Amino acid sequence: MGDLSEKHRSHSYYEANARQRIAALLDPGSFEELIGPAERCTSPHLDQLGLPCAFDDGIVIGRGRLSGSEILLASQEGGFMGGAVGEVHGAKLTGLLELALTEQPVAVVLLMESGGVRLHEANAGLLAISEILRALLSVRAAGIPVIGLIGGAFGCFGGMGIVARCCDTLIATEEGRLGLSGPDVIETTMGVEEFDASDRALVWRTVGGKHRYLLGEVDYLVNDDMAALRAAILQVHDESIPLTLESLEQEHQLLSRRIEDYGHCDDALDIWQKMGLAEPHILPLLAIQDFLEAVANRKPTDL
Amino acid sequence: MDYLHFELSGQSAQLRDQPAVLTGVVGSGNLEVLIETAELEGLCQVQVSTSANGFAEIWGAVLNDSALRHDLANLRISINDGGATPAVVSLRLDQAMEDFLGV
């Protein structure tokens, strides 16, 4: 595929599409796409349902360089069916992760933007998620770091939310959202009294990047700026975090502590208050740098 | 779904040796355009898969209009469409040609 010219480079990750993100984050001209659109490896299911396909099934995978380091990278396209994982989409991501085991890149970088499983493809999508998870854990076990990045308009939910939390390091912007059930799913299944998905402020302070950072689920909170995100990936791209039984047990203890400490809270604001943050209501309004300073002295969530 | 096929004739019939380019994203009211070089004796083949049925005539008009602005010779253009309006289709075709030519 041709490289996108300079004028198509966007400074905002949020506003960019999957291909523009790759062009902006990697070393210029270094990206080599695998199973590109010209191969027409499209969904076998959508056509039968009378729905249009995408030539790349909503995900771009390939090799590239980051400040000279060889990496493998995947970028999900939120604009196509909300970045949802269908059979081909999932197989491409699984294949990329399995390729890492033979190619031994410095890192695998996942630009995640997905509502989760593509429900039109039902079981094929669900199976894809478990295959992705198994492949991702194999890559981590081989000592190759998997870096996740969340900052697109569609967030990262469902099965991809699980994939995100299995990465070595997770980078997000304030605009990035992370969760299992998305706001609309919660409202539909539990009622608007439980969660009002049209309340944007509520949505952002519940699943948004700032809250996920405060809870320790996101490791780095970065401005919605390509250069800042590239710098953040560069900073951690060679850090493999060993996944051991001990670290898993510690994580479980941490989660038990979290439900003890915050399980009765009705709102993220209550949680931030309990973290010892003096003015929780102003946190959503702060620019990233001010926010990071304001929360630097919160009660640690580590054990 | 409607599957449409068009054949347009280019102006200069020059064969460009360039990599394929994909522009746009398939979404509601949006489309993607894949442009590839192909030896078609100066012709341009266009394949359209669209979720909006019954608009073959309008597709033909928009594509012919685009052919007047660009030299669409020896190209294979493939489109996946989620029901975009003619103006959006026209815009994407222009963008796709710009990306393809690296303008």
> Which residues of A make CB contacts under 8 Å with B?
1-2, 4-5, 8, 17-19, 36-38, 40, 47, 50-56, 77, 79-80
Q: What is the pLDDT of residue A8?
A: 52
Put simply, the answer to whether A2 touches B18 (Cβ < 8 Å) is yes
Put simply, the answer to whether A55 touches B21 (Cβ < 8 Å) is no
Does residue B90 fall inside a structural domain?
Answer: yes
Does residue B62 fall inside a structural domain?
Answer: no
Q: Where do we find the tokens 């959503």?
A: A284
| Positions in chain A whose pLDDT score sits under 50 | 1-3, 5, 303
Q: What is the model's pTM?
A: 0.94
**How do residues A161-192 score in pLDDT, each as one tens digit?**
999 999 999 999 999 999 999 999 999 999 99
Q: How many whole angstroms separate alpha carbon A91 and alpha carbon A129? A: 9
Q: Which residues contact B74 (CB under 8 A, 6 or more apart)?
A: B10, B13, B14, B15, B16, B37, B38, B39, B40, B41, B42, B43, B44
Q: What is the pLDDT of residue B43?
A: 94
Q: How many whole angstroms separate alpha carbon B53 and alpha carbon B46? A: 17
Q: Which domains does chain A have, with CATH numbers?
A: 6-178+218-241 (3.90.226.10)
Chain centroid to CA A241: 17
Which residue is closest to A47 within chain B, CA to CA? B1
Cβ atoms of residues A74 and A96 within 8 Å = yes
* Torsion angle of C-alpha atoms B52, B55, B59, B60, degrees rounded to 10: 150
How many domains is chain B partitioned into structurally? 1
| Cross-strand partners of A61 | A34, A74
Which residue out of A4, A49, A80 would a mutagenesis test of the B interface target, given it has the greatest number of B Cβ atoms within 10 Å? A80
Q: Does B100 touch chain A (CB under 8 A)?
A: yes
> Which of A201-205, B7-11, B80-84 is least confident?
B7-11
CA distance B34 to chain A (A): 7
Put simply, the answer to whether B51 touches A52 (Cβ < 8 Å) is yes
Q: What is the pLDDT of residue A297?
A: 86
Pairing of strands A146-150, A169-173: parallel
As a whole number of Å, the end-to-end CA separation of chain A is 48
Q: How many whole angstroms separate alpha carbon A123 and alpha carbon A120? A: 9
Does residue B94 fall inside a structural domain?
Answer: yes
Q: Does B68 touch chain A (CB under 8 A)?
A: no
Cβ atoms of residues A205 and A267 within 8 Å = yes
Q: What is the mean pLDDT of chain B?
A: 94
**How do residues B26-70 score in pLDDT, each as one tens digit?**
999 999 999 999 999 999 999 999 999 999 999 999 999 999 999
Residue-number span of the structural domain to which B91 is assigned: 2-53+71-101
